[in-house]
Amino acid sequence: MPLAVARRNRYTMNADGASKGLSLASINQAVVKCEYAVRGALAIRAEELREELTSKAPAAYPFQRIVSCNIGNPQQLGQQPITFFRQVAALTEYPDLLKSEHAAKLFAPDAIARAKTLLAAIGGSTGAYTHSQGIPLIRQNVAKFIEERDGFPADPNDIFLTAGASPGVQLILQTLIAHEDVGIMIPVPQYPLYTASIALFRGNAVPYFLHEEETWGLSVDELARSVADAKKKGLDVRALCVINPGNPTGACLSVENMRKIVDFCHREKLVLLADEVYQTNSYMPKEFPFNSFKKVLKSMGPEYDSVELVSFHSISKGMVGECGRRGGYFECTGVAEDVKEMLYKVASISLCPPAQGQIMVDLMVNPPRAGDASYEQYKSEVDSIYESLKRRAERLAAAFNKLEGVSCQPAQGSMYLFPQITLPPRAIEAARVAKLEPDALYCMELLNATGVCVVPGSGFHQKKGTWHFRSTFLPPENDMDDFIQRISTFHQQFLTRYS
């Protein structure tokens, strides 16, 4: 049998000669290898428990409900949507409401006006496909938002609306990974969208380590070490990904640090991927204010005009929290026109991002302003969500730092805490026997004992020999005492069990 046929049969024929079809051996091995811990084993087990809790008597478990702290999904944990946003969403989704005699009683005048403007911009129905790069009017509003935020020009043609930041990140990574020796620099710990997508597109993750003891600081010396190591391995390093504010670390970068990062990309000719989905989740704005990489790059002058920057944003985070609606954008800075045409071509294969996701992007970047009918209510709702997130971040970090053998950096931003846990040797041995990472054993036992679902630090990668877990601080404030008590009690019992 010719070698090529034998090689092909290795994937398509079982030992007994039957076609393998969709089998783990025959499908794309990049699909088999990629991992996404945020919805991995812990989340799957949590869903099993959630179903059992509803089907069996709650007495079957020492808890009555699952608390999903594995995912930054605010509205799953009771956060209310912004009224103005939902009024515009309702009116654009069912335009007949605009004709109702009750409309003026049910909806604010500026919501009615915005809905009419958006419906005109999308040709009358949210059921129609839109422009593949996103509705032009909304891209213009995104550009205005960026100009007002940064003080530098932004071009709507450099902006691509997406079904959340995730597909935007994946489009850019897919475009960058031209062959199997391409390296993409990613922070450790990192949000596993990056490692999963790099694996899916058969690239190579090039880790640079954040310094936990310096509140998860990012050092340019570490960037230089990382890229030198990668080059020694023969990798063709093409891009540097920075998540700011960080996930899972919550760290906010200083302008000085950002300037050094931009200069590093300039010297190494790396595309800078700036994931800024948590840009309004900044809880220490005086000490650690958010600055965009677009602003820092453009403030460094024309010498840096050759730096290629792609900045990502999303409606899933901030005070918006509209995760399920799927909306976001990325802005290309310094990217060649013919490359943007390729990005458009690939974006057009999926036809368009969801119309309601695009509408929510418009509302996020162009909310009610002072003097608008909805402004007071809008500002009150946003401020209330922000202050609550800030309080919960501080409270949970303090609670984690009270636990024996746990140290937790404060959340300067984002929605997560990433405490380091010291695990007894017997727990590490038990994990080895169970074929689990030690922090995964801890998280699984926490879930089975308390119903609290968090993600093991191993799912975000971490410095060798350290163990962490990531928890959101999203449980409602009136549940915080119970939530903290559950974790604290479990933690002490765990240490006793494995002492």
> Of 316 and 412, which has the nearer Cβ to ligand DCS?
316
- In the list 91, 154, 243, 274, the residue contacting ligand DCS (rule: CB under 6 A) is 243
Q: Determine contact, residues 91/109, Cβ cutoff 8 Å.
A: no
For 67, the token pair is 């608390």
> Of 247 and 257, which has the nearer Cβ to ligand DCS?
247
Site string for ligand DCS, 35-64 (x = CB under 6 A): ---x--------------------------
Binding of ligand DCS by 247 (CB under 6 A): yes
- In the list 142, 185, 198, 323, the residue contacting ligand DCS (rule: CB under 6 A) is 323
Q: Determine contact, residues 216/249, Cβ cutoff 8 Å.
A: yes
- In the list 197, 226, 311, 316, the residue contacting ligand DCS (rule: CB under 6 A) is 316
Considering only residues 367-426, where is the footprint of ligand DCS by CB under 6 A? none
Site string for ligand DCS, 172-211 (x = CB under 6 A): -------------------x-x------------------
Q: How far apart are CA 358 and CA 130, in angstroms?
A: 10
Give the three-state DSSP class for 472: strand
Torsion angles phi and psi, residue 330, rounded to 5: -130, 150
Q: How far apart are CA 307 and CA 267, in angstroms?
A: 9
Binding of ligand DCS by 71 (CB under 6 A): yes
**Count of H-run helices and E-run strands, the chain:** 18, 14
3-state secondary structure labels for all residues of 353-395: CCHHHHHHHHHHHCCCCCCCCCHHHHHHHHHHHHHHHHHHHHH
Binding of ligand DCS by 69 (CB under 6 A): no
Determine the Cα angle at 197 with ends 239 and 245, to 5°. 65
> Of 271 and 323, which has the nearer Cβ to ligand DCS?
323
Q: Which stretch binds ligand DCS (CB under 6 A): 54-62, 67-75, 354-362, 389-397?
A: 67-75
Q: Which stretch binds ligand DCS (CB under 6 A): 48-56, 101-109, 125-133, 164-172?
A: 164-172
> Of 81 and 95, which has the nearer Cβ to ligand DCS?
81
How does DSSP assign 272-301, residue by residue? EEEE-TTTT-BS-TTTS----HHHHHHHT-
Binding of ligand DCS by 164 (CB under 6 A): yes
Beta strands at 420-421 and 406-407: parallel, antiparallel or unpaired = antiparallel
**Cβ neighbour number for residue 57 with a 10 Å cutoff:** 7
H-state helical runs in 151-192: 165-176
Which single residue is written with the structure tokens 């080059």? 231
- In the list 46, 49, 66, 72, the residue contacting ligand DCS (rule: CB under 6 A) is 72
Number of residues that bind ligand DCS (CB under 6 A): 17
Rule CB under 6 A: which residues touch ligand DCS? 38, 71-73, 164-166, 191, 193, 243, 247, 275, 277, 314, 316, 323, 328
